[in-house]
Amino acid sequence: MVTHDQVQRDVAHDNTVISEAWLHLFASRADTSITLRIMHVEGESLQYESSSDAIRICLATQKIKDIKEILESGGHDYTTHEDPSLPTERIVTQDPLGNEVLFTPQANTFSMPSSPEIKPVHSKKLPDVLSLSDEPRKNIGILTSGGDAPGMNACVRAVVRMAIARNCRPFFIYEGYQGLVDGGDKIKEAGWMDVSGFLTVGGTVIGTARCAAFREIEGRRTGVHNLIKRGIDALVVIGGDGSLTGADRLRAEWPEHVAALEKDKRITEAEAQRYRTLMIVGMVGSIDNDLASTDMTIGACSALERICESVDAILSTAMSHRRAFVVEVMGRHCGWLALNAAISTGADYLFIPEAPPSKDDWQTAMCKTLKASREAGKRTSLVIVAEGAIDRSLKPIKAEYIREVLSTRLGYDTRVTTLGHVQRGGAPAHFDRFLATMQGAEAVEAILRAKPETPSPVIGMLENKITTQPLKEAIELTSEVAQAIEKQDFARAMELRSESFSKQLASYKEIANFNPASKDKLPAEQRLRIAILHAGAPAGGMNTATRSAVRLCLNRGHTALGVHNGFPGLMRGEITELDWLTVDGWTICGGSKLGTNRDQPGPQLGAIAYQLQKHGIQALLVIGGFEAYTAVLELADNRTQYPAFNIPMVLVPATVSNNVPGTEYSLGSDTAANVIVRSTDMIKQSASSNRRRVFVIEVQGGNCGFLAVTAGLSGGSTTVYAPEEGVDLTRLQRDIAHLRTRYTKELGNSEGRVTLCNEKASPIYSTDMIANIYDAESGGFYGARTAVLGHLQQGGTPSPLDRCRANTMAIDAINWLQSRCWDSMEIPDEDAVRLPPSQLKRKYFPRVFTNTPDTAAVIGVVGSEVRFTPISDLVAHTDFARRVPRTIWWSAARQLVDILSGVGVDIENGGCSTLYKSCAIDLTAEDLMRLYGQHGTIDKLEFNFPE
């Protein structure tokens, strides 16, 4: 707001302006912003012709009586309106531009009574006002093409609602490119409520179909004609690499098609000028996760969940009958599904296209491996094979042939299960909904930013960041994988996958099977005694991490010691040696098999040091949440007092709250988010059946709003209450006003709604209180209920994402501990580093001794990279009072929760008062070449803790 109280002369209108104020309301788009000039003039008021774009303005004031006197003294028309709920009447009048102005004593008023009896003032013509933006409103077509993938509907929903919020018009194009060619009723404008319920539905509601006509130039020209006639100047395509290639080709040919259509008189000259360019944005919907320049594609995570659910069930019957199973999963040119399924289910053997068996006689190698596991006591054998698996001479490896080999050579009762299209179906998992929603919103932003010369982008994800990449180069990289396989250049094929893919494959091969001979890999003096301890609340993935760590230790000759019942168990000496068979089935087990609690080591540091010395523990792997973080920090801080603490120690973050500094994801957070989303789906179903019900659902997270925000976005929450922003009456008034508005307009066809509330969102406004306020202020339009999910979020089978992350972090943690231990054995001069006699109770150093800060660390997932950060370095980035990191990466998701639920959105006309700041990182073709051609890094994708 800009004001002045100096008397000035308004030259344009020849009036003396005693005082004036300029108020500017900033909107998401410049051409929907509003500027008000309020003037106190000397003499007769300015009068203009009323505008055809008149608006309604609501002003809150307690001086209603004074306003009436001013209007009457100036001879202005007004009407009064009684409201029993208000202390005074309301007044409606018009300003000289014909805008209706409401004066009311009630704040946050979003509607006004009609006043047809007020006569607008007419005088001289209003001077022309330049538009802040002459850019026409975008009309965005949305189509899904190729194989369906869970999460496509979530993506469509996000594009539709974000387009409306950004004052664009979205259009459904049904049946993919076939609908584009057919036109007519296959292209329809999409409304806000048309995508209601899309989040929970698998497949694609708007359909997909093969289209031979689109492969021909005349078919594509017909599609161009249909787009122009519907006024569509931008296209969002959700599909695989073939679908995106078709979209890019359509854009390249667009000028040629427009010229031909104008020449044939099928479109007018004005239409040809108006639609001279087409903007295309692609998003990859593919369960294979086969786009080379992205870490994850829409649908891959859900497909992995279907595979794991099926294989988990198969393993129980296999164990009963001592059977072997060969399970075929999808993946023609990409082994991502097969590899991650093998890690998540503990498969004994794996076949993928990018990495064929290293030996020509792979049959003998496979039989030897499986036989060794059976001899170690395992009752089952499981082989995962991708549908595109081949040997090094490109000969296909089929599931049925593997069955024959196992039955003939080993005599196993072997069965084949081909999962087929089960992998494509079902409700999408939390991560696919989250990814699809974030990418869908960014697709609209990419369209609004684009210039005619902007290359067609594809929305991807790299290093846990949403990216926009040049579509053409991304597809070329993907095609290069298949070409490398055909040329038998398997090393290049692996290079084109992410670095994490190669590391996952290497770690899987090392821990998949029991190999007694592997103890000879390390000389006796390099073998270690490594303790594994769980601390804090249980979280999905704790047992998976333990299993991977134990198996790696045993195959290298180390001794893996399990500490039961957390730090109290360590103090009491509850330590046992873990063997291969004990941890074999821990992959799919939730909770903590070792036992865990929140107790800190502080009261019994001396007893803990004694047990470490007694059992000869040379390295410590702690798996847990914030309690584990503070415990490791305490041990590191007391190294000078207790020499037994001078060993390498590392924390693997595992907590549903995802509040451990040094990592973007903690084990268990994805499992908990899936529980919340599934529960939300069921509760919304109940609420929708009642038609007029709102549920306030309490979720865990402590003082970290990660679960509430991310699960709220993927579950379709109306809003979320998180500790980072708190709860106050103004916020509650806004949310209640939104609910009342929506239920008023949806009368008779209302949908159920949910609100997620973090357990510590507010010390005053509890979940019950928020629900009671909702209910009391509903005006009879809806009722409010509560649901507390509680410890459901900490239990259940770990999600595949948590299992894979657990495996990666555990393997890297053991490698790091091993390296730090070996480094500490190399002490050239003991006397130079020996502690003073007062602090050292033994004559000689233990074989492993290190007290440098970098040997007590937190392992974290930062982007797609696994990073070790000294725990002492993280202290400055930790809010210990609130038990959270000082920085968060998921703030962009919080903005979208409100926008996509309609808060602040003019649902009927378009536009939004809620600001959204794009979070996408723009990558160029040169960036992709640096990543995948030169195996370098990109600064703009790097995350570093703020100084």
Residues noted as catalytic: 288
Residue 132 forms beta bridges with which residues?
Answer: none
Return the structure tokens found at 670.
Answer: 């994805």
Half-sphere exposure of 370 (CA within 13 A, CB side): 31
* Cβ-Cβ contacts under 8 Å for 831 (sequence gap 6 or more): none
Chain centroid to CA 134: 35
Say which amino acid occupies 545.
Answer: A
Residue 40 forms beta bridges with which residues?
Answer: 19
For 755, the 3-state DSSP assignment is strand
Residues in the chain: 947
Return the structure tokens found at 367.
Answer: 């039989």
Q: Single out the residue of 531, 739, 533 nearest to residue 627, CA to CA.
A: 533
The enclosing H or E element of 857 equals strand 856-862
Give the DSSP letter of residue 407.
I
For residue 42, count other CB atoms closer than 10 A to its CB.
Answer: 9
Give 154-206 as a 3 state SS string: HHHHHHHHHHHHCCCEEEEECCHHHHHHHCHHHEEECCHHHHCCHHHCCCCCC
The enclosing H or E element of 234 equals strand 234-239
For 846, the 3-state DSSP assignment is coil
What backbone torsions phi and psi does residue 901 show, to the nearest 5 degrees?
Answer: -95, -5
What backbone torsions phi and psi does residue 623 show, to the nearest 5 degrees?
Answer: -115, 115
Q: Single out the residue of 877, 882, 917 nearest to residue 896, CA to CA.
A: 917
Q: d(Cα 710, Cα 430) in Å, to the nearest integer?
A: 9
For 518, the 3-state DSSP assignment is helix
Q: d(Cα 908, Cα 920) in Å, to the nearest integer?
A: 28
Residue carrying structure tokens 């693997």: 652
Question: Mutual orientation of helices 542-556 and 800-825 as an angle, nearest 10°?
Answer: 40
The enclosing H or E element of 624 equals strand 619-624
Q: Single out the residue of 346, 331, 334, 337 nearest to residue 383, CA to CA.
A: 346
Q: Is the separation of the CB atoms in 381 and 330 below 8 Å?
A: no
Q: Is the separation of the CB atoms in 584 and 345 below 8 Å?
A: no
Residue carrying structure tokens 């001289």: 124
Return the structure tokens found at 784.
Answer: 């409010």
Q: Is the separation of the CB atoms in 651 and 660 below 8 Å?
A: yes
The enclosing H or E element of 143 equals strand 139-144
Q: Is the separation of the CB atoms in 847 and 821 below 8 Å?
A: no
Return the structure tokens found at 520.
Answer: 């000879």
Return the structure tokens found at 590.
Answer: 């939730």
Q: Is the separation of the CB atoms in 898 and 892 below 8 Å?
A: no
